[in-house]
């Protein structure tokens, strides 16, 4: 079959598909969290004392004693076996965006050749995968491979069902033999602790006496594309790079705005329902689904949960989006930019912090008392975004996200914070000294009139801001669709911890200097805004004027590529931030810089190799075949005395030659070595390889527009995007 015949075959197969039948859906109450070893399940399975101990561990992070761990392990094993599990696995979150697991059987054989099952507290608490194949930067020499996984009781264990049977999954942290974090969960938990400790100080200074442990929350909206697997399997770029490296634009794209929130295609509906039923069984609160802006693009958002659990759940959502798609004859593309010229995919990370006694500290609330706490926490975020903008840019940096950031569909590569008109005015007033505090009639009158009638929903949203206040939370909109949410959450919690520490010491100074509470708050916030107010921006983040003003007038950084962004991990401010908050040691941080840099380089190199390979073996031959058709025709016609216009042949020949010249340059650039530093290697990828790939692509895409459709070997944009 020639390439173009396989294209026709794919279309035939797809149009004759019948949607997979989903088993009759069961009521939510029957399936909700049935595969989760939740607190409720434990309460049923455990004796009172053991349950009390484990509940305390879950809620406060206090370690569990060995005897109770044994009891919990036994109950967990019995429950898992009753669900059909024969294996268990610690699941952990290495420095990639994926998860890792090592499966062990419950079985051990006894001396008379029989088999019994065993699962002790020791096995539950600690696993030992051979850690040498996980990216670890320079933390371990390859000969010192030992790594440990350790149970994280604050994220519930669950059962995962595959064709290979059921497995008990135990969310875990992953560390080196010497105790360094090799994963993303350890710093997330530490960042939450640091935020909690600093927040406690601020709230105590604000006169709160009963302060429960603070936790961060996360609700992440996930965008994705679905493409029929018949097409995807015929495109090596989709299979290996997760995006199209070639493809001329479709005559119709998203300009009609007819996909966004439109009726969901029947096959996709069945897919979503299947997916959501699996999520519900795992206790993942999938809440909304809808079509997104680009054709073939969709979104799923769960209800928000505490950040540690939400991050684990987010990983599972990505895994299930992909595995379920396969069953339905789709491939699910989580890449940030699968198709050039139409919108890419992001993951909006909604984030707030709070506890059971003071509630959500990023909710303005309805009383002045709440408002003061709110203003301090909101101010802390502003300071964090300003001070650590480059870090926030670094944690969203990836080869894929570079295609989105800065384009006019996604937030710019400049980190600013959007507050909404009302709140922006409050902070501006504080800064300009318009708000003063006074005591009147024995009651505190803050003069903060405008804050009292705060509406939870600011009238408008700013879609052009990378970091926006949305009524009771911040939405980090610039995160890439395939990224794990750990990095952004770690950065936000940690910068908040740092800001709250600063606020606590400043407040303390003001209060000891004799100011009353509200005056101390206002003075603190004024000083904060004087230093960091430049990060607040409510205008159009896509405009050229902002790109100029942000950099020239406000001193913000425009950091266009991953190569420019990652070195922030090595900056003294960021090293100090993570060190002072205890979230990452300088060694752990440096290892992250190395791992993320390596991942970027690898991603670009794979794309470059594929570009060369596809240009040479798929596209060039198609152009030659067409040229041969044209020349045969021209010769035949000439024999009959008819002169054919040969301008198309000339164009095809020229483009094909130009493409091969660009391929030669790209091959040469790919061979280059000896960069001297990681930073230089990153720049070589961003400036050298990426631009050369674009050159090859430009020629190939013009060829696609010239070569006879029936000779074109690759599924075209209009087919992949519109045939479902």
Going by C-beta distance under 8 Å and a sequence separation of 6 or more, which residues neighbour residue 27? none
Residue 430 neighbours by CB distance under 10 Å: 23
Binders in 288-327 for ligand ADP, by CB under 6 A: 288, 301-304
The answer to whether 407 and 457 are in contact (CB under 8 A) is: no
Closest by CA position to 7, among listed 15, 252, 621: 15
Angle at 569 between CA 565 and CA 573, to 5 degrees: 110
Sole residue written with tokens 């610039």: 478
What is the distance between the alpha carbons of residues 213 and 194, in angstroms, rounded to a whole number?
11
Using CB under 6 A as the binding criterion, the count of chain residues that bind ligand ADP stands at 16
Give me the residue whose beta carbon is nearest to Mg ion: 348
Nearer to ligand ADP, 390 or 538 (CB): 538
The answer to whether 117 and 100 are in contact (CB under 8 A) is: no
Residue 59 neighbours by CB distance under 10 Å: 15
Identify what 472 binds: ligand ADP, Mg ion, none; CB under 5 to 8 Å per kind: ligand ADP
Residue 359 neighbours by CB distance under 10 Å: 14
> Which of 101, 183, 193, 221 forms a contact with ligand ADP (CB under 6 A)?
221
Nearer to ligand ADP, 252 or 287 (CB): 287
Nearer to ligand ADP, 221 or 564 (CB): 221
* Token duo for residue 252: 């119709």
Nearer to ligand ADP, 264 or 711 (CB): 264
The answer to whether 225 and 333 are in contact (CB under 8 A) is: yes
Min dist. Cβ of residue 540 to ligand ADP (A): 19
Which helix (H) or strand (E) segment is 86 a member of?
strand 85-92
Residue 241 neighbours by CB distance under 10 Å: 21
> Which of 352, 398, 499, 524 forms a contact with ligand ADP (CB under 6 A)?
352
Nearer to ligand ADP, 236 or 471 (CB): 471
Closest by CA position to 483, among listed 364, 603, 624: 603
What is the distance between the alpha carbons of residues 301 and 219, in angstroms, rounded to a whole number?
7
The answer to whether 189 and 143 are in contact (CB under 8 A) is: no
Binders in 2-21 for ligand ADP, by CB under 6 A: none
Nearer to Mg ion, 350 or 702 (CB): 350
Nearer to ligand ADP, 337 or 347 (CB): 347
Min dist. Cβ of residue 608 to ligand ADP (A): 36
Binders in 466-485 for ligand ADP, by CB under 6 A: 472-473
Identify what 235 binds: Mg ion, ligand ADP, none; CB under 5 to 8 Å per kind: none
**Quick one: DSSP state of residue 216?**
E
Identify what 713 binds: ligand ADP, Mg ion, none; CB under 5 to 8 Å per kind: none
Nearer to ligand ADP, 219 or 346 (CB): 219
Select from 261-269, 345-353, 408-416, 591-599 the region that touches ligand ADP (CB under 6 A): 345-353
The answer to whether 486 and 188 are in contact (CB under 8 A) is: yes
Min dist. Cβ of residue 218 to Mg ion (A): 12
Min dist. Cβ of residue 537 to Mg ion (A): 18
The answer to whether 495 and 484 are in contact (CB under 8 A) is: no
Nearer to Mg ion, 348 or 383 (CB): 348
Select from 174-182, 211-219, 596-604, 692-700 the region that touches ligand ADP (CB under 6 A): 211-219
Nearer to Mg ion, 348 or 393 (CB): 348
Nearer to ligand ADP, 319 or 360 (CB): 360
Instruction: Identify the sign of the CA torsion 700, 703, 704, 709.
Output: negative
* Token duo for residue 20: 């997979």
Closest by CA position to 323, among listed 87, 97, 161: 161
Angle between helix 266-281 and helix 307-327 axes, rounded to 10 deg: 140
Min dist. Cβ of residue 475 to Mg ion (A): 5
Closest by CA position to 708, among listed 632, 637, 610: 632
Give me the residue whose beta carbon is nearest to ligand ADP: 219
* Token duo for residue 48: 């009172």
Which helix (H) or strand (E) segment is 75 a member of?
helix 66-82
Binders in 253-292 for ligand ADP, by CB under 6 A: 288
Identify what 228 binds: Mg ion, ligand ADP, none; CB under 5 to 8 Å per kind: none
Min dist. Cβ of residue 268 to Mg ion (A): 21
Select from 178-186, 212-220, 415-423, 534-542 the region that touches ligand ADP (CB under 6 A): 212-220
**Quick one: DSSP state of residue 641?**
T
What is the distance between the alpha carbons of residues 54 and 173, in angstroms, rounded to a whole number?
18
Identify what 12 binds: ligand ADP, Mg ion, none; CB under 5 to 8 Å per kind: none
* Token duo for residue 176: 């080196």
Min dist. Cβ of residue 219 to ligand ADP (A): 2
Min dist. Cβ of residue 413 to ligand ADP (A): 21
Q: Could you tell me how many residues make up the chain? A: 724
Give me the 315-334 binding string for Mg ion, x by CB under 5 A, dash otherwise. Answer: --------------------
Sole residue written with tokens 């960091």: 532
What is the distance between the alpha carbons of residues 86 and 113, in angstroms, rounded to a whole number?
18
Identify what 356 binds: Mg ion, ligand ADP, none; CB under 5 to 8 Å per kind: none
Identify what 352 binds: ligand ADP, Mg ion, none; CB under 5 to 8 Å per kind: ligand ADP
Min dist. Cβ of residue 591 to Mg ion (A): 33
Identify what 288 binds: ligand ADP, Mg ion, none; CB under 5 to 8 Å per kind: ligand ADP
Min dist. Cβ of residue 370 to ligand ADP (A): 14
What is the distance between the alpha carbons of residues 104 and 89, in angstroms, rounded to a whole number?
6
Q: Name the phi and psi angles at 306, rounded to 5.
A: -65, 145
Select from 30-38, 122-130, 349-357, 433-441 the region that touches ligand ADP (CB under 6 A): 349-357
Give me the 333-372 binding string for Mg ion, x by CB under 5 A, dash otherwise. Answer: ---------------x------------------------
Q: Where are the alpha helices (DSSP H) in 242-329?
A: 266-281, 307-327
Residue 221 neighbours by CB distance under 10 Å: 20
Residue 327 neighbours by CB distance under 10 Å: 12
Going by C-beta distance under 8 Å and a sequence separation of 6 or more, which residues neighbour residue 24? none
Select from 324-332, 346-354, 596-604, 657-665 the region that touches ligand ADP (CB under 6 A): 346-354
Q: Helix, strand or coil for residue 170?
A: strand
Select from 344-352, 401-409, 526-534, 608-616 the region that touches ligand ADP (CB under 6 A): 344-352
Closest by CA position to 378, among listed 343, 357, 352, 401: 352
Min dist. Cβ of residue 30 to ligand ADP (A): 24
Min dist. Cβ of residue 217 to ligand ADP (A): 4
Identify what 177 binds: Mg ion, ligand ADP, none; CB under 5 to 8 Å per kind: none
Binders in 229-288 for Mg ion, by CB under 5 A: none
Site membership for ligand ADP, residue 96 (CB under 6 A):
no
Q: Helix, strand or coil for residue 597?
A: helix
Closest by CA position to 347, among listed 513, 475, 246: 475
Min dist. Cβ of residue 302 to ligand ADP (A): 6
Closest by CA position to 584, among listed 490, 466, 511: 490
Min dist. Cβ of residue 299 to Mg ion (A): 9
Identify what 301 binds: ligand ADP, Mg ion, none; CB under 5 to 8 Å per kind: ligand ADP
> Which of 217, 254, 484, 597 forms a contact with ligand ADP (CB under 6 A)?
217
Closest by CA position to 662, among listed 622, 712, 702: 702
Min dist. Cβ of residue 503 to ligand ADP (A): 21
The site for ligand ADP (CB under 6 A) is made up of 217-219, 221, 288, 301-304, 348, 350-352, 360, 472-473
The site for Mg ion (CB under 5 A) is made up of 348
């Amino acid at each position: 079959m020639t390439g173009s015949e396989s294209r026709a075959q794919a279309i035939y197969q797809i149009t004759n598909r019948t949607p997979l039948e989903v088993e009759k859906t069961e009521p939510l109450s029957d399936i909700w969290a049935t595969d989760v070893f939740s607190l409720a399940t434990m309460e049923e399975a455990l004796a009172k004392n053991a349950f009390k101990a484990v509940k305390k561990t879950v809620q406060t992070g206090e370690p569990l004693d060995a005897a109770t761990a044994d009891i919990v392990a036994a109950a967990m094993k019995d429950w898992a076996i009753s669900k059909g599990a024969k294996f268990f696995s610690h699941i952990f979150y290495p420095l990639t965006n994926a998860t890792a697991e090592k499966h062990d059987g419950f079985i051990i054989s006894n001396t008379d050749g029989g088999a019994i099952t065993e699962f002790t507290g020791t096995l539950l608490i600690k696993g030992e995968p051979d850690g040498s194949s996980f990216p670890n930067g320079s933390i371990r020499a390859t000969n010192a491979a030992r790594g440990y996984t350790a149970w994280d009781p604050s994220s519930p264990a669950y059962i995962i069902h595959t064709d290979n049977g059921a497995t008990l999954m135990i969310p875990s942290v992953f560390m080196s033999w010497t105790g360094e974090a090799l994963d993303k969960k350890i710093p997330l938990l530490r960042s939450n602790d640091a935020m909690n400790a600093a927040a406690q100080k601020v709230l105590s200074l604000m006169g709160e006496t009963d302060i429960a442990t603070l936790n961060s929350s996360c609700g992440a909206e996930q965008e994705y594309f679905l493409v029929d697997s018949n097409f995807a399997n015929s495109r090596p770029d989709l299979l290996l790079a997760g995006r199209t490296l070639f493809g001329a634009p479709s005559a119709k794209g998203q300009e009609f705005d007819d996909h966004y929130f439109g009726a969901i295609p029947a096959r996709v509906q069945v897919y979503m329902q299947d997916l959501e039923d699996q999520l519900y069984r795992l206790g993942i609160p999938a809440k909304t689904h809808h079509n997104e802006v680009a054709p073939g693009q969709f979104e799923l958002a769960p209800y928000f949960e505490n950040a540690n659990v939400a991050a684990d759940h987010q990983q599972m959502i990505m895994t299930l989006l992909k595995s379920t798609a396969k069953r339905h004859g789709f491939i699910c593309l989580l890449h940030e930019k699968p198709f050039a010229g139409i919108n890419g995919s992001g993951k909006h990370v909604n984030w707030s912090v709070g506890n059971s006694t003071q509630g959500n500290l990023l909710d303005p609330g309805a009383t002045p008392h709440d408002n003061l706490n709110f203003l301090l926490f909101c101010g802390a975020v502003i300071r964090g975004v300003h001070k650590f903008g480059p870090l926030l840019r670094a944690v969203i940096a990836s080869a894929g996200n570079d295609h989105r950031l800065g384009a006019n569909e996604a937030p710019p590569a400049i980190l600013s914070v959007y507050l909404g008109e009302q709140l922006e005015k409050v902070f501006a007033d504080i800064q300009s000294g318009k708000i003063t505090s006074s005591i009147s009639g024995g009651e505190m009158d803050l003069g903060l009139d405008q804050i009292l009638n705060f509406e939870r929903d600011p009238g408008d949203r700013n879609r052009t801001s990378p970091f926006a206040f949305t009524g009771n939370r911040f939405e980090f909109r610039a995160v890439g669709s395939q990224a794990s949410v750990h990095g952004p959450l770690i950065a936000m919690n940690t910068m908040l911890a740092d800001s709250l520490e600063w606020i606590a010491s400043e407040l303390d100074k003001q209060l000891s200097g004799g100011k009353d509470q509200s005056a101390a708050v206002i003075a603190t916030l004024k000083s904060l805004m004087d230093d960091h107010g430049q990060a607040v921006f409510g205008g159009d983040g896509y405009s050229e004027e902002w790109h100029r003003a942000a950099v020239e007038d406000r001193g913000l950084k425009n950091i266009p590529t991953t190569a420019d962004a990652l070195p922030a991990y090595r900056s003294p401010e960021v090293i100090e931030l993570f060190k002072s908050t205890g979230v990452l040691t300088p060694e752990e941080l440096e290892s992250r810089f190395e791992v993320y840099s390596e991942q970027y380089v690898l991603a670009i190199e794979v794309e470059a190799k594929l570009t060369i390979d596809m240009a040479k073996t798929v596209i060039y031959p198609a152009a030659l075949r067409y040229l041969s058709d044209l020349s045969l025709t021209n010769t035949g016609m000439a024999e009959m005395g008819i002169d054919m216009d040969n301008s198309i042949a000339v164009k095809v020949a020229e483009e094909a030659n130009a493409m091969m010249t660009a391929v030669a340059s790209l091959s040469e650039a790919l061979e280059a070595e000896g960069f001297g530093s990681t930073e230089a290697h990153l720049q070589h990828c961003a400036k050298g390889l990426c631009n050369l790939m674009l050159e090859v692509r430009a020629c190939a895409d013009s060829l696609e527009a010239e070569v006879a459709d029936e000779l074109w070997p690759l599924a075209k944009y209009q087919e992949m995007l519109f045939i479902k």
